[in-house]
Each structure stands twice: as C-alpha cells, then as structure tokens.
Amino acid sequence: MASIFPKTLSRNSEALTAAQQQILTSSHIAVIGCGGLGGYAIEELARIGIGWLTIYDPDTFSPSNCNRQINALNSTQGKNKAEVAAQRILDMGTGCIPKAIPFDYRDHLPKKKHDIGVVIDCLDSIETRFHLSDLCNTLAIPLVHGAVTSWYGQLGVQLPGFNLAAAIFPAKTNQSAEQSPPSVLSFTVATIASLQACEAVKLLLGIPSPLHNNWAQIDLKHNTFDYMPATHP
C-alpha cells in the first residue's frame, strides 16, 4: 500500500484494503456547512484520503464558534469557514483536493449529479435540511444527516428515494428567530461529525449500515444510542 499511496495514508492499511483506499482516493464528497459538524467531518474525510471535497459555507468565524469548531481560532476570526477549511486540507498532504464555495449551497450545488458520491448535511436549519433532502433525491445522491444540541445528537442516512428529513422533523419549521442559539458542546459535535464521516465512507465502500434510511439519537450524558423508527413519508 505504501508504494501506491502517500505516506500520509499508510496507517490506513489493514483497516482498509488497497482496493478500498483506491475507491476513497477516487471519490468526491460534498459537505454542506463548514462550522461545527462540517469542520470535524471535513477533517476526518481529508485525513482518510477522500480524493475531492467540495465544501460550502457563506459564513465567517466569530468568537462564539471557538468552543466547538475545529477551525475557529484567533487567527481565523472574520475569515470564511469554507476557505479556512480548504487551506487546512491542503496543509495535510493526504492528496485530498478541496474546493471551497463561500456561498449558500442552494445557489451553487450542481443541478446534475456530476461526480459527487455522497452529500453530508451539516446545516443548522430545518427548512434547508428539507431542501437538501429533496435535492439529493432529485440528483440520486445519498445524504448523511447530523444535528447536535448540548449533550445530544442525531444521525441518519438517506438513500435515494427516501425522505429522511420528513421522517425526522414534524414540519418544515425553524426555531423562532427570537430564541437564543442552542447550547452545543465540543465533544458532541466531534462525536456526531465522526459518525457522519464514518457513514459516508461506508456508503462509498458499499458497507451496509443499520442507519441506511434510518436515524438514531445519541445521548452522550448517559451514553445511549437509540435507533428511531423511520417510516417512508
């Protein structure tokens, strides 16, 4: 494996076959949102050797991001989240090629499937999650969903033809604009994002998962992982 892949990926050997690593190295993933969940998911996907990452986020870093977002530093305050993540990927040397889109994904995600193998939902709005779920079904691209609050998170995988957003959320409504942003802890974000990256890799490698067309709730305070019934809407 070391003769085929860069030394930066050599510790993937044995856990992944050379053929599996080649699949990942030839794969393209789109990550929607580069803040808490997105930052960690991007980090892990680049470090396992995904070939191309297209990453979307119109937002810039602010002080309130520093408790949970891996790329939120004093040196990155005011900088675009997608562009900062892309530069970090280039510094890793794993061969991953990033493309930062510092705009709303709704205006820039391809209208045709192109070569994207998986889309990862790291959004913070129910309304946009419904839109992304519908768009991925239109493009026939699998979608990996994640969401966090406080000690708790949720995770699910939508295969083409299933509407995961409708199975999880009762309606296309957001929190009131007057409500304060939810509390989010760093280890909750890192855990859910790691599971999202893992599910994306399993999709690319054709590895079955109980989360396919299903979702789970994770409680880190009490260490529980509960699968939820997901009926097709």
- Per-residue pLDDT at 4: 65
Q: Is residue 2 part of a domain?
A: no
What is the SS3 assignment for 141?
coil
- pTM comes to 0.93
Residue 39, both tokens: 């930052």
Cβ distance 169 to 133 under 8 Å? no
pLDDT at site 176: 43
Which pLDDT belongs to residue 107?
81
Please give the Cα distance from 82 to 229 (Å, whole number).
34
Task: State the Cα–Cα distance between residues 48 and 30, nearest whole angstrom.
Answer: 15
Partners of 184 in beta bridges? 150
Residue-range definition of the domain harbouring residue 182: 7-228
Blockwise average pLDDT, block size 10, the chain, 233 residues: 71 93 96 98 98 97 96 97 98 95 85 81 94 94 97 97 91 57 93 98 98 97 91 58
The CATH number assigned to the domain holding 107 equals: 3.40.50.720
Confirm whether 166 is domain-assigned: yes
Gap between the Cα atoms of 204 and 97, Å rounded: 17
pLDDT at residue 202 in the model = 98
φ, ψ for residue 171 (rounded to 5)? -160, 165
| Distance in angstroms (rounded) separating the CA atoms of residues 158 and 131 | 13
Question: In the prediction, which pLDDT does 1 show?
Answer: 42
Is 1 within a domain? Answer: no
CA distance 161 to 164: 9
pLDDT at 114: 66
Count how many domains the chain has. Answer: 1
Cβ atoms of residues 1 and 21 within 8 Å: yes
Q: Does residue 233 sit within a domain? A: no
Give me the pLDDT at residue 178, please. Answer: 47
192 within domain boundaries:
yes
pLDDT reported for residue 233: 52
Residue 11 maps to a domain: yes
Residue 30, token pair as written in the block: 């789109």
Which residues neighbour 198 within 8 Å (Cβ) at sequence distance 6 or greater?
A: none
Please give the backbone phi and psi of residue 3, each rounded to the nearest 5 degrees, phi first: -80, -15
